[in-house]
Structure 1
Amino acid sequence: MKMQLSYALAVMLIAGAPNANAASPTVRDEFDATSVSDNWFSCGRDENRFSFGKIPDEARSAATQIVRALPQNNVLAFAWHPKGCAREDGTYDRDGSERSELWEAEKVLAPMGTDIWYRFDMFVDASITPTTGRFVIGQWKQTNSPQDAPILAQRFNGRAFTVSIEQDNADPNRDPKNVLCRVFIASQETAPVEPGFGNAHTLVKPAQLLSLMKNQMLSVGHDAEDLAHGAAPLSLPGLTGCAQGLSVTRYNSLPDPFGKWTTMVYHLRLVSDKTGLIEIWADGKKISKTEGVIGFKPFLAKEREYFKFGSYRNHAEFETVTRLDHFIRSERKADVDPDGTLAPP
């Protein structure tokens, strides 16, 4: 795919008036300016490009992220650096993954457990194939997390849109190495898993990379098998697998997001003490509601949660373009859905 991105694009992030007793500022972004705001962190790497502002031949502006294929021999390094993004001198710690992400900047992060709403429009191009492995576009993580995994993630493996959460694997019969349980809480109709399915998995350690690299590109801190995450029945009654301490209610399937704009709304309370909450809407339809143990123990309110958007994948031989627009984050639903059409009850 060849794209001309010599035009100047822009991001404007406006901190709205803080709510009374709010734990975090309200953040709005229409991506209209000519440079990225310091409320965003752009994770620069050799394989990515960022641009901001008006999209050619469209009426809207957006943050545009492009991820390209890296040579497969350019992925291993064992010097650690936070976030895996470029330092001021342009160097970064290669981790076996390819990414092109915007991160919420440190100064606007909300404390863990904040009752908070997110609304954004996302564009995912049609490059992802039915055989594509791990491909995350949009995730929420915890600072200094007990586990190197996202609490909540939008996954596009195998060209199927799903949303998953991670929790500690408390199954007494688990394989000791499977310390995490991934639970799917929303899915596109074509996905091989349905909400309520929990799949046990381990983390890939640095020492495992050399042997695993013979077969596939991996990212430190992520599981090795991430295309369909094992075989799963198409219809699952209630919670199955390692999922515990959760209630997952499905209302609708996720829409097909490829090659088009999709409006997402999330209502989050990310806590691991059985009072966690995730509600999801897409294009004005309620998709699912998840309650219970969400995230990892111990829960430390002093830590903060952060959102990042853009491609994060194993090595792939194709280029992918993602875009982010109409971003609003607030502790008030009225700020993200003022007329009640994007997140109906």
Structure 2
Amino acid sequence: MKNAIRWAGLAAFLLCGAAQAEDWAKPLFDGFDGSDFSPAGGLYYRENFEQSAGTVEFQKAVKLSGAGALKLSVKALCPTDDDGCSERAEIWEKTALRVPYDQGVWYGFAVKFGDPIPIDDHRYLIAQWKREIIPGAEGDFSPFLALRLRNGKLFATVETNYVAPDASAQTEDSSSCCGGKMQLSPQHASAQTDEAGCPEGAAPVWFRPETNQMRALVATDSAWTAEDNDLYHGCTKAIRVIDHGNKLPLPSSGWIDFEVFTKPGPDGTGRIEIFANDKPVVTVEGHIGHADHGLGNNQYFKFGPYRAGHSDDWTLYYDHFRRSPHCADVLSEGSCPLP
């Protein structure tokens, strides 16, 4: 009898795992045309303290296509001098539909910045991809891919575990690099660079060995200048960026349709593709994501305004969400770089 129960439990576990594996591979779509999230999109608004700063509105006045779009806004909730407190209005994928961390998947969504567009030097995110964190895990793990705003400019970053720099990432004498804004120990100094940027094959990076992380700057809009690089004065060959000659659109340009492929690989096998309005922006290869103890088996995606404490309201509009293992479900015909 005990063996029968044991085998029945194992069968149920395997069936559940197979069902979840099948669920993540199903294409998801939501045009936000109704009064709630579509069952076909697998999305929801998570309720917690930080999210109480946000509001969600299924509205019809501002849209890219169809009958409507999401209006996501955040208001003041945190003290403006408390950088550890966050204000969010983020939309999450349902847990049962999360993609395994070792799988590649395409995401698509359109975003429009509401007026006024923030132009201050502050922490703003409009979308982020993360690895699951098991409750009780030690560490503060940044998103392995994030679309961010700073000084009114749009940029993208890729995060991974810290990889010690090598001397081949050096450009010239960099002992006076960074204007004192970034401090590295002497053994890391060879990876610093000046305003001229990194050598071929190396990506600009913000080394953070104290948290076992480093953050690479992988894409920017056309308004980005050398002065905006004050955090990214290191160089790494652990993350390779292939520039396709197209900048990220300016936040003021109207609706931006992002098409993104994510396949983490903390061991150096990762790959990311970023498209905007059907134009290739960058391909990112190499060390992508985290492999620390206490992290889960899946990746997940969140979109919506996220910032540290602020006194002003901030609004973004989102439309045309889709997710699929198949590029053709997300990008227009003929644009797919991968099968």
TM-score, scaled to structure 2? 0.70
Question: Is 1:171–1:242's contact at 8 Å kept on the other side of the alignment?
Answer: no
Look up the match of 2:132: 143
The within-5 A match list for 1:179-198 is: 179-192=212-225
RMSD over aligned CA atoms reads 3.1
Report which of the two structures shows the higher radius of gyration computed on alpha carbons. Answer: 2
Look up the match of 1:47: 53
Give, in angstroms, the shift of residue 243 of structure 1.
2.8
Q: Output the CA distance in 1 between the equivalents of 2:25 and 2:265.
A: 16
The within-5 A match list for 1:123-138 is: 123-138=112-127
Question: Is 1:24–1:109's contact at 8 Å kept on the other side of the alignment?
Answer: no
Matched AA of 2:264: L
Distance 1:300 1:333, change over 3 A: farther
Distance 1:64 1:105, change over 3 A: same
Distance 1:57 1:325, change over 3 A: closer
Question: Is 1:103–1:307's contact at 8 Å kept on the other side of the alignment?
Answer: yes
Q: Output the CA distance in 2 between the equivalents of 1:72 and 1:63.
A: 27
Q: Output the CA distance in 2 between the equivalents of 1:313 and 1:24.
A: 31
Matched AA of 2:73: I
Q: Output the CA distance in 1 between the equivalents of 2:33 and 2:85.
A: 33
SS of residue paired to 1:118: strand
Give, in angstroms, the shift of residue 130 of structure 1.
3.0
Q: Output the CA distance in 2 between the equivalents of 1:333 and 1:300.
A: 31
Matched AA of 2:70: A
Does residue 159 of structure 2 align to residue 152 of structure 1?
no
| Gap runs ≥5 in structure 2 | 1-18, 166-186, 189-207
Q: 1:340 aligns with which of 331, 334, 337?
A: 334
SS of residue paired to 1:107: helix
Distance 1:295 1:344, change over 3 A: closer
State which drifts further: 21-30 or 321-330. 21-30
Does residue 160 of structure 2 align to residue 167 of structure 1?
yes
Q: 1:316 aligns with which of 302, 310, 317?
A: 310
Look up the match of 1:27: 28
1:31-50 Cα deviation digits (max 9, x unpaired): 11212346223134332110
Question: Is 1:170–1:242's contact at 8 Å kept on the other side of the alignment?
Answer: no
Q: Output the CA distance in 2 between the equivalents of 1:189 and 1:57.
A: 25
The within-5 A match list for 1:1-345 is: 24-37=25-38, 39-44=42-47, 45-55=51-61, 60=66, 61-70=68-77, 72=79, 96-144=85-133, 147-171=140-164, 173-174=187-188, 176-177=209-210, 179-192=212-225, 228=228, 230=230, 241-251=234-244, 252-258=246-252, 260-298=254-292, 303-341=297-335, 343=336
Matched AA of 1:49: T
Give, in angstroms, the shift of residue 264 of structure 1.
0.7
Question: Is 1:271–1:299's contact at 8 Å kept on the other side of the alignment?
Answer: no
Look up the match of 2:4: none
Give, in angstroms, the shift of residue 245 of structure 1.
1.4
Q: Output the CA distance in 2 between the equivalents of 1:283 and 1:57.
A: 16
Look up the match of 2:3: none
Q: Output the CA distance in 2 between the equivalents of 1:137 and 1:269.
A: 20
SS of residue paired to 2:275: strand
Q: Output the CA distance in 2 between the equivalents of 1:282 and 1:58.
A: 15
Paired residue total: 268
Question: Is 2:44–2:93's contact at 8 Å kept on the other side of the alignment?
Answer: yes
Greater RCO, 1 or 2 (C-alpha within 8 Å, sep 6+) = 2
Q: Output the CA distance in 2 between the equivalents of 1:165 and 1:58.
A: 28
Q: Output the CA distance in 2 between the equivalents of 1:288 and 1:51.
A: 33
